[in-house]
Amino acid sequence: MDTGTRDGCISTAVPGMSGRTVIVTGASSGIGLATARRLAGAGARVVLAVRDVAKGQRAAATMSGDIEVRKLELDNLESVRTFAAGWTGRLDILINNAGIMLVPEGKTADGFERHIGTNHLGHFALANLLLPHLADRVVTVSSHLHAAGRLDLEDLHWRRRPYSAGQAYSDSKLANMLFTLELQRRLSVAGAGVRAMAVHPGMTQTNLFGHATGVRAVLINAFARLALQDADHGSQATLFAATADIPGGSFVQPGGFAHMRGSPGIAAPSGVAQDAAVARALWRVSARLTGADMPMSA
């Protein structure tokens, strides 16, 4: 069993992964790279699903094990469909890790607001299209900021409201939570053995903060130096959700102060994330927008 160590601290134990296949989206940097490295080191075949293949190959060169790089643009449904159509054989674990944060107002290739389109709709389509191959679980990286989400299902793409990058990000992370819990409900109804998990990785210093500007950027940089953990520590909650024997529908987050860091464990998501009616409604909207839906009765 690979425990991994850093600064004398024992990190999340990762069991032997030989014979298992894992896809990690956004695995060329940050938490995704740290997650992929640990899983490959434990013997898994790991596919780095990345926007920039050259960057993904440079990341893969820093890792040991059975590693493959494939192109995936989550803000382009054609790319998502191409990636999924090219998948053959068994897939044990899908880790929906990639994400954007605080980006300027804009649209994806399909006309979606960028946060909801990339963080939620791209992963929603990917998971649904890959479900026929999945054998174990789907892990989706959300955030504690999901609790601040206020999804407007009639205006997901901010066509009628003044745009707020911060609110759009929180909304997309709430969508990740609602997707996970509704996916688990549907899997349970279908009698499938696949499980769905959501993760808050803690406060981690990654390139997600690269779009912050002005006073917000100054405050983030100062906070990062004092409080943010590195990507290796930030990957611990994802690794726990991906490998521990925990129930489907679990929400995993660090157990330390304000859930910013610490050993991961199962926690209760916010009340807004547990609204089953909203989760079902979001699923219907997402299926309509992406043309992807769960390929089994639910």
Degrees, nearest 5: CA angle 210-216-221: 60
In this predicted structure, the answer to whether residue 2 has a pLDDT above a threshold of 80 is no
Q: Are 44 and 21 in contact (CB under 8 A)?
A: yes
For residue 233, which of 206, 210, 212 has the smallest C-alpha distance? 206
In angstroms, the CA 45 to CA 298 distance is 30
In this predicted structure, the answer to whether residue 52 has a pLDDT above a threshold of 80 is yes
- Sequence spans of domains, the chain: 12-290
b (16+ CB within 10 A) / e for 189-228:
eeebebbbbbbbbbbbbbebbeebeeeeeeebeeeeeeeb
Q: In what order do the strands lie in the sheet with 45-50?
A: 66-71, 45-50, 21-25, 91-96, 134-141, 195-199, 251-254, 264-267
pTM above 0.85, yes or no: yes
DSSP 254: E
Average pLDDT over residues 18-29: 97
The pLDDT of residue 220: 53
Q: Are 175 and 67 in contact (CB under 8 A)?
A: no
- Percent of the chain clearing pLDDT 90 (strictly above): 79
Classify strands 21-25 and 9-10 as parallel, antiparallel or unpaired. Answer: unpaired
The pLDDT of residue 9: 41
Each residue of 260-284: pLDDT tens digit?
656 899 999 999 999 999 999 999 9
Each residue of 82-94: pLDDT tens digit?
999 999 999 999 9
The pLDDT of residue 231: 67
Mapped onto helix, strand or coil, the DSSP state of residue 91 is strand
Tokens 């296949």 correspond to 21
Q: Is 169 a catalytic residue?
A: yes
Q: Are 195 and 293 in contact (CB under 8 A)?
A: no
From the candidates 169, 179, 240, 251, give the one annotated as an active-site residue. Answer: 169
Q: Are 190 and 183 in contact (CB under 8 A)?
A: no
**Structural fold of domain 12-290:** Rossmann fold (3.40.50)
Q: How confident is the model at residue 292 (pLDDT cuts 50, 70, 90)?
A: very high
Each residue of 97-142: pLDDT tens digit?
999 999 999 999 999 999 999 999 999 999 999 999 999 999 999 9
Each residue of 165-203: pLDDT tens digit?
999 999 999 999 999 999 999 999 999 999 999 999 986
Beta bridge partners of 20: none
User: In this predicted model, which residue has the larger pLDDT, 231 or 77?
Assistant: 77
Q: How confident is the model at residue 219 (pLDDT cuts 50, 70, 90)?
A: low
The pLDDT of residue 204: 57
In angstroms, the CA 174 to CA 287 distance is 17
